[in-house]
Structure 1
């Protein structure tokens, strides 16, 4: 996709649609958790290593989303934000959310689950990013085109980092993003609980083993 092919629109992308996509992905993740089990046994070195890496990625996701919202909170779709995390990626919030999705798969102890959740998140946010790009192109025109030419669409390039002298942020948006981040962190005890129930026989056996 090139931004020259985008058609400007006058209305911002309806976030409710994005939430529908995200909730559908969450349902699939729950089914994955209940119907499958990781090939690496709980407590094994391989399983513990994946859990540790997954937890690190989830923490990076939460920290990255909070960092991003410091710059865009309260100004999303109203101002063209190009400083901080938005100077190295056009969609840092979506990037860090995808990192979190991969982390959840690793917390589960499965490389396949990490790949599936990561790809699903990437595709969902790609659709959302395109819709938002169409709106921003219509609102900011040449300034937005110049920004997209200078900034990677998704994968961050730290060498492009630049910042503002002053930072004004929305405490309300920061608080909301913090609570959203708790959902990512809550996945870890949920996975541990399911594994415990399955080990004690309180939960039906898994149908599929994931590596």
Structure 2
């Protein structure tokens, strides 16, 4: 189900600052990856298990974002979408992105990196979600208030799930989200390559991350 705005509302939240913060965090993560090593040695059972769990979370992120964009792609800020993933959380895209950030840390083999990346993502998306909620409340009024009262802002509640018989989605938005999601998946071979260079002595190790 989707509600269409019938009136003008305050300008939608500018995502530029959020993107800058996310990009800065990504750069920091790359530095951490290149010049540090995980506490659990590469090849150990613990490290391999952590990598597998991390890759699983990144895959959940990738599929979850595609699922979410099927409902909201091309409609964001123009319609109030309340079905599918948006029936269990108001911000499924942000939730799945945070899951992916945690997964990236675990793929590196570090619980600390997973916590730091997940927390950074959560804080950035929490702030963004609050600003977007203010905009949507002004845009959709009572319909958004009712939706917000029954739907968690971030952490999903599967018991609230409901769907609709059919919907239209933007193929362009789906394609862009698929492309963006590939960056998450591409980190797996990158991490493996960095591990190889570190073990061969071609990449210096400055510190250990637990």
TM-score, normalised with respect to structure 2? 0.94
Alignment partners' CA distance in 2, 1:165 and 1:145: 24
Distance 2:187 2:13 in 1: 28
Q: Does 1:141 align with 2:145?
A: no
Residues 105-145 of structure 1, C-alpha deviation per residue, up to 9 Å, x if partnerless?
A: 00000111111100000001111111111111110111111
Rounded to whole Å, the distance in 1 between the matches of 2:71 and 2:25 is 27
Task: For 1:201 and 1:210, locate their aligned partners in 2 and report how far apart those are by CA, in whole Å.
Answer: 18
What residue in structure 2 maps to residue 160 of structure 1? Answer: 160
The C-alpha deviation readout for 1:21-61, integer Å capped at 9, x for no partner, is 21011011111112321011111000000000001000000
| 1:207 corresponding residue in structure 2 | 206
> In 1, distance between residues paired with 2:32 and 2:125?
20
Please state how far the C-alpha of 1:84 moved relative to its aligned partner: 0.2
SS at match of 1:190: helix
| Matched residue, 1:96 | 96
Secondary structure (helix, strand or coil) at the match of 1:144 reads: helix
Aligned-partner Cα distance in 2 for 1:32–1:144 = 41
**SS, match of residue 80 in structure 1:** strand
- State how far apart, in whole Å, the 1-side matches of 2:37 and 2:75 are: 42
Q: Quote the residue 1:5 is aligned against.
A: none
Instruction: Mark the runs of 5 or more structure 2 residues left unpaired by the alignment.
Output: 1-8
RMSD value over aligned CA atoms? 0.9
Q: Distance in 2 between matches of 1:210 and 1:38?
A: 5
TM-score (norm 1): 0.93
Q: Distance in 1 between matches of 2:168 and 2:116?
A: 37
- Aligned ranges 1:37-52 → 2 under 5 Å: 37-52=37-52
Alignment of 1:105-116 (within 5 A): 105-116=105-116
Structure 1: state its 5+ residue gaps: 1-8
Q: How far apart in 1 are the matches of 2:185 and 2:113?
A: 17
CA contact (8 A) 2:35 2:203 kept: no
User: Hey, what does 1:122 align to over in structure 2?
Assistant: 122
TM-superposed CA distance for 1:15, in Å, is 2.0
Q: Secondary structure at the residue paired with 1:153?
A: coil
Q: CA deviation at 1:20?
A: 0.9
